[in-house]
Structure 1
Amino acid sequence: MAPLKILVCGGGIAGPALAFWLARSGHRVVIVERYPALRATGAQVDLREQGIDMVKRMGLDETIRSKLVDEEGFALVDSQGEIRATVLANRSGRGAQSFTSEYEIMRGDLVRILYDQTKDAENVEYVFGKTVESFEQDEKRVLARFSDGSSDTFDLLVGADGQGSRIRKAILPPDSPEPYHQLGVYIAYWFIPRTADDSNLRRTYLAPGGRMVFRRSHNATETQVYFFLKDDDPALQSIPRASIEKQKEFWAERFKDAGWQMDRFIEGMKETENFYCQEVVQVFTDTWSKGRVVLLGDAAHCASPFSGMGTTGALIGAYVLAGEIVRNPDNIPEAFAHYDRTLRPFVDAIQNIHGGMVRLGMPKSWWGVKIFYFVAWLLCLLRVPTLVAMFSKGERGGWKIPNYPELKPAR
């Protein structure tokens, strides 16, 4: 078979990871990214279970380790900043990761690593400031029309354009329900200057009213702040689409009386240029492909930050999709069908988070917060989280990464 010409919409993590494997197999990949430059920004992410095995298969373990965030573990603190419970990272070499993974990394660093691994390949092209406006397809090709008015034909189109995917919307049947499973939780994060008191132990704080705060430091000068809010009011769904100024006003108002270091965090939010806000959702859809168009990563199966497996899911999905394309280059619909059957059990496992438990972790009442702190203290005193991590399986859901000899191993 002649090499396939493949269009990938989205230059984050999943798209370049797919290009990493396809380029090694001789296929031509064009990645279009709507941002004008590489979007090497974002908060801290991690790799877990099968994701750790995957970066080793990619030959990127040493490179990624050189960029890891030195986070020792998780600590639950009270309004005075006193530690009430601690769970350290599981560095035993066996079992599952704890709240803190051995592979904590800034999203921007991982994006740069994948970009650097693919940008100089003869058969990979990145095009920034451009996206797919529309497309049409037949049995042999996909005609893509771009935001700059140009168009081109490809053997297949991959939608790796995130949880709000426009490619997904285009291939779903018109009467399809919304693919979002809403958890009733909103999140905002930003960077502030690091102080001497900001250690490498992530602090988590709970306040009444369904409020939770993270403070974690990723380098010598910066600290990340995360605000989580549990609220079922449908009106809040408009907040992430409001202006940045309005978003900041909303979060400042809701957290101003929360205690701990709120004055510092809110003042830092007003000054920061690294601010992001979103509703926490999962993406569930039975349709991952249509004809010669397929979805990848969050566009297909966003698991939400509470799963801890979003980045891992992107890397695993890219590997499986690449393997099936290279194995079935003359029958793309069949390749996509195998991709779905192979990956779906893993996706089901990483999306299996209990919404009630997530919400229970952000109590509404003062008494609820007190009870949560007591239970967390008792569990940590008995070393339950540590023991659970050490004796859990290192593979989420017992799902094993398939082997694709057709994909060339890392050099």
Structure 2
Amino acid sequence: MAQLKVLISGAGIAGNALAFWLAKLGHDVTVIERFPSLRATGLQLDLRGHGIDVMKRMGLEQAFRSKSAPENGVQMVDSSGRRRAYFPANKSGKGLQAFTTDYEIMRGDLCRLIYDATRDRAKYIFGTAIESFEEKDSSVEVWFTDGKTDRFDILVGADGQGSRTRRMMLGPDTPDAFFPFNGVYIGYFTIPRPIKEGEEYIATSYMAPGKRGIMIRRQNPNEIQAYLMCKTESERLKAARRGDVKEEKEAMAEIFQGAGWQTEDILQSLKADNDFYCERLGLVKLESWSHGRVVLVGDAAYCPSAATGMGTTSSMVGAYILAGEIARCCGRADGKGAERGADNKDGITAALKAYEQKFQPFMKQVQEGILEDAGFNMLPSTSFGIAILNFLMGVVSLLRLNVIGERLLREKIIGWDLPEYEEIV
């Protein structure tokens, strides 16, 4: 097979991971990112199950470990700050991960780690995006926001939950595939707070009446991460324009006023914060992840939401399988490895179809039932209900049951094995 010319829109984790594998195959890979530089921002995330396996197959475990966040577990506290339950990280290397996994890392560190392993083999263009594209019989013609145009064998949308590539692929007459959870939001930001003597690296979770939750966690000695989570009917937050940080912060402050515990100090820090980001939780669900030579990967195709704990893992595994099926159906740029497909056209069609067939059973299990129940519907809204929840979680932690890992998160995938691709590993 001839060398494929591939355009990836989005230099996040999914886009960089796909570029890593395709460039390793020797294909001509270009990654565009609308931001002027690599977005090495974001708070803590983790890898689970098959995502850990993919990272190891990339040869990045040592580099990952060098950047790991040193979190040892998560505790639940009441309004007085008293610990009611504690769930340690699973450091055994066996079984399901807990809330804190053995593979915790800051989003920016993981994004840069994959980018650094890829940038010498793939071309990165920052500060531009796709204006439009048109599928031809044997290529995709793409017009960029900087006025340039080019043709590619494959166009990949890896531009996140709000993917513009997805909306263009679906067309103006088809509703977008993002399905928001009803009134569920999370605000993320960091707070300068030097570590105290004897303080441990443990995440702390607090539930307040009114379906409000706060979590703080530490990734370094100088600052902590704060998460404001709520299920709310707030019209102000609902009407806030995405990215209007001032309005989003003020709406969040109104919702969390009087929530107790450390809320007032956290809200005071929120006023001065410069890295606040508000996410409206939801998932992306499509019957097909491709059309012609245009294909989606990561959150653009199958965002499972933060409620599953599987967003990063799904992106890493999906990118690996897409690259693996391209390798299997189209071969390497040196002509090795193609099993089927008389030419690039037939090989690409087969590869994109096989990508969906292989990975959709995985994502079906991850997303099943999430749209109907994002977790917040089960949470108590009264002080009495929260007290009962804290008591039950205390019993569960005393018995060392991994309820979070087994019941709430979606790491356990039944009857599905990670494929082996000799062409790329």
Instruction: Give deviations 1:68-118, integer Å, cap 9, x for gaps.
Output: 000010100111111100000111221010111000000000001011001
- Separation in 2, partners of 1:4, 1:92: 42
Distance across 1 between alignment mates of 2:350 and 2:368:
27
3-state SS of the aligned residue for 1:384? coil
CA shift for structure 1 position 381: 2.0
Q: 1:34 to 1:393 in 2, by over 3 A?
A: closer
Alignment check: 8 A CA contact 1:240 1:278 kept: no
Contact 1:240 1:279 in 2 (8 A): no
Aligned: 1:336 with 2:337: no
Q: 2:161 aligned with 1:145, yes or no? A: no
Structure 1 residue ranges (4+ consecutive) displaced by more than 4 angstroms after TM superposition:
232-235, 386-389, 392-395
Which TM-score applies when normalising by structure 1? Answer: 0.94
Taking structure 2 as the reference length, the TM-score comes to 0.91
Q: Note the C-alpha offset of 1:44.
A: 0.5
Task: Report the Cα distance in structure 2 between the residues aligned to 1:163 and 1:394, rounded to whole angstroms.
Answer: 20
Match of residue 261 from structure 1: 262
Query: Match for 1:345: what amino acid?
Result: P
Q: 1:6-85, aligned counterparts within 5 Å?
A: 6-85=6-85
How far apart, in 2, do the equivalents of 1:71 and 1:387 lie? 16
> How far off its partner does 1:353 sit?
5.1
CA separation of 1:206 and 1:343: change in aligned 2, threshold 3 A: same
- Look up the SS of the partner of 1:373 in the other structure: helix
Superposition deviation, residue 193 in structure 1: 1.1
Match of 1:297 in 2: 298
Match of 2:423 in 1: 406
Match of 2:178 in 1: 180
Q: CA deviation at 1:350?
A: 1.7
Q: Which residue matches 1:364?
A: 381
Q: Which residue of 2 aligns with 1:111?
A: 111
| Alignment-derived partner of residue 351 in structure 1 | 367
Question: CA offsets per residue over residues 183-202 of structure 1, 9 Å max, x none?
Answer: 22101010001244563110
**Rounded Cα–Cα distance in structure 1 between residues aligned with 2:115 and 2:405:** 36
| Aligned-partner residue type, residue 86 of structure 2 | T
Work out the CA distance in 1 between the residues paired with 2:328 and 2:389: 50
Tell me how large the CA RMSD over aligned residues is: 2.0
After TM superposition, give the deviation of residue 182 of structure 1 in Å.
2.3
Contact 1:95 1:393 in 2 (8 A): no
For 1:201-248, what per-residue CA distance to the aligned partner results, in whole angstroms no more than 9, with x for missing partners?
A: 100000001100010001110100000011256764333526211111
One-letter amino acid matched to 1:91? K
Partners in 2 of 1:157 and 1:271 — Cα distance?
A: 41
What letter matches 2:398 in structure 1?
L
Q: Distance in 2 between matches of 1:252 and 1:394?
A: 33
Question: Are residues 334 and 238 of structure 1, via their aligned partners in 2, closer, same or farther at CA, if it must alter by over 3 Å?
Answer: farther
- Long gaps (5+) in structure 2: 331-343
Partners of 2:237 and 2:251 within 8 A in 1: no
Matched-pair contact (CA < 8 Å) for 1:73–1:99? yes
Identical pairs, percent: 45
Q: Which amino acid aligns with 1:272?
A: D
Distance 1:167 1:242, change over 3 A: closer
SS at match of 2:279: strand
Structure 1 residue 66 displacement after superposition:
0.7
CA distance in 2, matches of 1:227, 1:309: 20
CA distance in 1, matches of 2:194, 2:145: 44
Q: Structure 1 residue 367: deviation in Å?
A: 2.1
The equivalent residue for 1:190 is: 189
Q: Hey, what's the Cα distance between the residues in 2 that align with 1:307 and 1:83?
A: 25
What per-residue deviation string (whole Å, max 9, x for no partner) do you get for residues 114-147 of structure 1? Answer: 11001112xx100000011100011200110001
